[in-house]
Structure 1
């Protein structure tokens, strides 16, 4: 399920994901090789012109052109004009829009942050010396208003390291073909079916959006032959449960950073209301 979660940004528009974990688990490989519609920002500087819009050439940046932008080695990434860049990125992650000068643009690009974090591989957990699990991010990204826009936290320390014995044998999908399937799935709106199947009235709008987006992406990946047909209780319940867990990982860390705002969030106020069989 965690490996499938890595693929949700390819099939769900405007989806924001973070994965921090040990080295050699395939983070960068996944986002560099799965689709030609993804772009990897490899450390160094990230400028507003590269990401959003170049006023000099009047050309859109990668966020306006690609389906997925993956910030690799996020701990070593530096944002040129950090205050302005993070402000624009924060707004985009919430609304799907960004402004440059007197122009406003809409985009569907998903944002993924990836990086390394010291881990205890025997216990499969992050190093206990961290105060919170966003501590490895650049200081300008350790902003609760920015991190609150992330829809899921992939616990990279639970991912296996890639070894030759893990390689598949026999036939597989051509990545160009799979990328086209993902692009087609991206056009389908499955969140409406999630909303029809789950009652989340006890949660805030942002909490609901994060859970619905994750569940919708997983439904597309697991049941591509069914979506956008209505889902059954048995199909959707475990995916909602998993989506809540991945969202809770974000909120738990924000509660450490800013307990007065994020402590006490109710993660159990949801109920499956769709039938057990398709009508």
Structure 2
């Protein structure tokens, strides 16, 4: 399959070797950054000059502890300094002045400026999203007291991290060249996993790939409980630049939704998904306040804080570890007791669309680490990000799925939303209901979506007697 992959995707394929303990592990780079470097430095055989790559990393990928040295070069030595960073821009309403922030270095907009000529050159790239990765070049605007101008760090140039154009139609057409079993392996390789390490177990592969559903579908809210060491934190936190992983600690309504003091929107507004990892160890500054905000947001994508009303498309995922004795292949044991008290309310849990049985995913081992040609993670996650905007798949799902009379609206929406995400992920080439067989859609999309929702519904019955014995609606595929 390697030849087919390289022929179909050409420059978007890189050679990844995570099985070997090479220097990449010591750099602690996210997958999208590592693959960007591999694409930049690898030859046609997947080889690269290690020293050349290391020099580039040292020059253009400074750590947070190198920020003072960078400021010294910019402010004291009057140099222009280039490096890779995540940047966000802002336009002041009162003055029209454009500023920027580098969140990873603690540089805020009050100390920066983007002058008009630079803004005109790079604004199309900087306004694409709340935050953008790219090569920034920084200089210094000297203070001029007579003009009441303070000294500020200025952006002198910017080049997007993603210099190529994402061609969704090409990606969709390329999928036609692969059998479904082959495509599962392609997807696993794109997120750094070795498909052969699953020993042909399709259920394990599909459960792992279920974690990608919030990457590709807006406002998909999931709960996953899994044993330790199955790679939850890695996949959600290190593979895509479009998501946010919060591990333990304190979470507030201000951080998650809207900060009234700073007048800034929170995590749900700037990311495709927000993952509350190790959820058992997360504490909330005000449980009732957070629960109310979550219920409103999970239901409609709208959040209200004080007089501010915002809207976002980020999915919310709860991830936690589960005790071995609590695992249940059928999902019949009471599992949500593992979650913090804030999530012991049925009205909140019902708003999560589906449950991922993380115990179906093997514990991470060397045989599961990719060693070979695979899709560039940065390219792949950019594709998934773009697919979130494609509404045609939901129209196909609506056409294919028949729902029983008087079906519960939340159950129907949950199943259809999950099925839509599966369709985008596994069958992106489908442009019409006739492009996929009823049996394949049922097996890979509808049945899996129904089971994920069914687990939520059963667990609701264990939490609240009102839900006990209430099954989800009957779903079928038209023409099956």
* TM-score normalised by length of structure 2: 0.54
Alignment of 1:63-74 (within 5 A): 63-74=268-279
**Is contact 2:216-2:388 (8 Å) kept?**
yes
Aligned counterpart for 2:447 among listed residues 224, 241, 248: 241
Residues 184-209 of structure 1, C-alpha deviations (whole Å, 9 max, x = no match): 11111222211111111332110001
Q: 2-side partners of 1:188 and 1:63: how far apart?
A: 20
> Structure 2 regions of 5+ residues with no counterpart?
1-205
Equivalences for residues 41-190 of structure 1 within 5 A: 41-120=246-325, 125=328, 132-189=334-391, 190=393
Paired position in structure 1 for 2:232: 27
State the SS of the aligned residue for 2:222.
strand
Q: Deviation of residue 266 (structure 1)?
A: 4.3
- Asked if 1:213 corresponds to 2:417, the answer is yes
**Equivalent residue, structure 1, for 2:399:** 196
Q: 2:468 & 2:370 partners in 1: Cα distance?
A: 42
Q: Deviations over 1:47-76 (max 9, x none)?
A: 111111111221111111111100011011
Deviations 1:93-129 (A, max 9, x none): 01010011112111000000001010159xx737x9x
Deviation at 1:229, TM superposition (A): 2.7
Match of 2:119 in 1: none
The structure in which a higher percent of residues are helix is 2
Instruction: Describe the SS at the equivalent of 1:25.
Output: coil
CA distance in structure 1 between the aligned counterparts of 2:267 and 2:475, rounded to whole angstroms: 37
The aligned counterpart of 1:251 is 457
**TM-score, with normalisation over the residues of structure 1?**
0.91
> Does 1:36 find its partner at 2:241?
yes
Runs of 4+ in 1 over 4 A off after TM superposition: none
Structure 1 stretches of 5 or more lacking a match? none
Corresponding residue for residue 475 of structure 2: 270
Bigger RCO (CA 8 Å, 6+ sep): 1
RMSD: 1.9
Q: Which moved more, 1:9-18 or 1:230-239?
A: 230-239
Alignment deviations for residues 140-177 of structure 1 (CA, whole Å, 9 cap, x no partner): 11110010011111111111001001112211122211
Q: Contact 2:222–2:318 (CA<8 Å) still a contact in 1?
A: yes
Change (3 A) 1:135 1:197: same
Distance across 2 between alignment mates of 1:260 and 1:15? 25
CA distance in 2, matches of 1:207, 1:141: 19
